[in-house]
Structure 1
Amino acid sequence: MKAIVCTGYGPPEVLQMQDVEKPRPADNEVLVKVHATTVSMGDHRIRSFTVPSAVWLPARMALGLTRPRRNILGIELAGEVEAVGGQVQRFKKGDRVFAATLQGFGAYAQYRCISEDGPVAAKPRNLTYEEAAAVPIGARTALHYLRKANVQSGQDVLIYGASGSVGTYAVQMAKHFGANVTAVCSTANVELTQSLGADAVIDYTADDFTTRPDRYDVVFDTVGKASFGDCMKVLKSGGSYLNCTPVLPSIQVMRAKLSGAHKLILGEAPPETAEALDFIRELLEAGKIRVVVDRKYRFDEIVEAHRYVDQGRKKGNVVISIV
């Protein structure tokens, strides 16, 4: 089969299409013919090895010293079940599915084996494969953090980085839970975040959210670019600070944890189960949330797609069509 192999850490050109062995499903696995995947910020970080200097060595030990140990990237997909293992009960050949492949990566390939007990579920009926592939990581992450903060009707929620993959889902889900949502994004994305239902939008290029009098029950930094101190300034006593990117220990963070004045949820990965995907599918099929796709590329254009994502300006999701 064809796969995009990451031959080393570096620019997008380290990604090369190669012939690799087609996988065979184990007894508890399904073999998915991949129709679409995405270029996520996770793929960008691994390929370019964009990590804080303080965790450089541990990250290299975990991912691979000279190149990614798991050299076929891609952390979400949508496709069709081609074969099932002897013990599989949830799926059958021909089922259309979408899945997160954060554990093990491997979505940049024509086929991927996935445990039936993992984060794989029936594809939303009203979505294309390309749209469905843009759901499993961003939407699942947004849902996980909003649930952890117990976002409820009437609460005030600030979402920083509201135009990215996690951010676009977070805006819509927070609204679904009944919150009053303030979105923070750049000028180019104000209209987009308004269309997703945000009650207020702050253009960070023209306005500083910390100078406003507003205070929030939840502050969700979806991109890791707002300073911890700034977020604490606008958080109500007893409020929740969410950050889905790795947060390095600091005196400020340690003090906040020890004080117990706020709930801090930092860098957690969602559970590797299908429950969240099933819940998200229901929202999508009911029209409660929608997928934001910025650009689509062919499989053989994946280097160009990575170049675009490297710019840090994508809106929602960048999709790769494999079939």
Structure 2
Amino acid sequence: MGIICFSVKSTGSGGRLVAKNRKWYKTILIMRVFIYVVCGVYTAVIQFWYGDRVVDLVNSFLRLFQRIHALRGSEDVCYGSKWVLTLLLLKVIGLMYESCYLIPGRISDINAGYLLTTICELYNTANASVMLNVYFVAYLSIGIIYGQVNSYIRQELRQQLNELKTINGTPASRRKLKAAAQRLDECLEIYDEIPRVVDSFHSLFEFPLCVVLMFKFLSIGSITFFIMKNLGGVSLWFMVLKILLDILLLTVAVHIARSNSRVIRWLSVENYYITNNKDWHMKLEMFLSRLNYKEFRVRPLGLFEVSNELILIYMSGLVTYLTYIIQYDMQRENL
């Protein structure tokens, strides 16, 4: 974490060593400590006071998967596609590195102080990162749920609805119309249930998402500063890449969920004839209105939107920050 926040450098011609206080760097470290404490307290609160709500939330996700698999003709029982497997493997690789990067290269380096530091660092890092892993799995699951319902409507239900069209002026039987209406109604209910599950998830985990992203961004900034000052080795480069990978995987999961949530508008289920009942048409109109009103977006506390653009904005700010430091060091050396 960094307790001593000053640098010792040579003054140049005289060769004297001078210690200089780094107040701005101390501010970054204090913010990181504060974020560590907030993540730890929030994790304890969730575990001891809101454990039942978390269990109900997990069961809600599982019930959505069960309802999808219960649809007639839905044979896709896997958790996503090959791309989802690739994302999960990348997440596992990041977790393995996060668990092992503090292990010393030589057994002789182990002592009581090093073990205590390693345990504290592992606890703090895992406590701050476990929330990010929860978000990744949750948003990836939401994207998979949307994708499976879309796939069922596109590949099976639309084909069944096309077969219900009148052939040579003969309308389809009432039994077939009723069965198709029930399947379409079940799909619409699943679409309506997903935003309710998402709202329940955000009500519990929206605040720590904002805090964890701040922690990750501050970590990248402080680690990059050490790399520029040649104060670390290759391990720091890997740590920066690992943090960027965590944020990238989160934004990709959100992008998948948001993209799949928009597909229902392109399927045009309202154009298929089911019945002339006014209640049914009103239900479809209200469903389409809710799609526009409850668009899937991830905006922690309304401060910013989690998307791929977030990484680009942060990287642009980080490059500006590093450029300023380089110019400042060059001007100070010329004085």
Shorter-chain TM-score range: under 0.3
TM-score (norm 2): 0.18
TM-score (norm 1): 0.19
Comparing both chains, which one has the higher relative contact order based on Cα–Cα distances under 8 Å and sequence gaps of 6 or more?
2
Q: Which of the pair is proportionally richer in strand?
A: 1
Q: Which of the pair is proportionally richer in helix?
A: 2
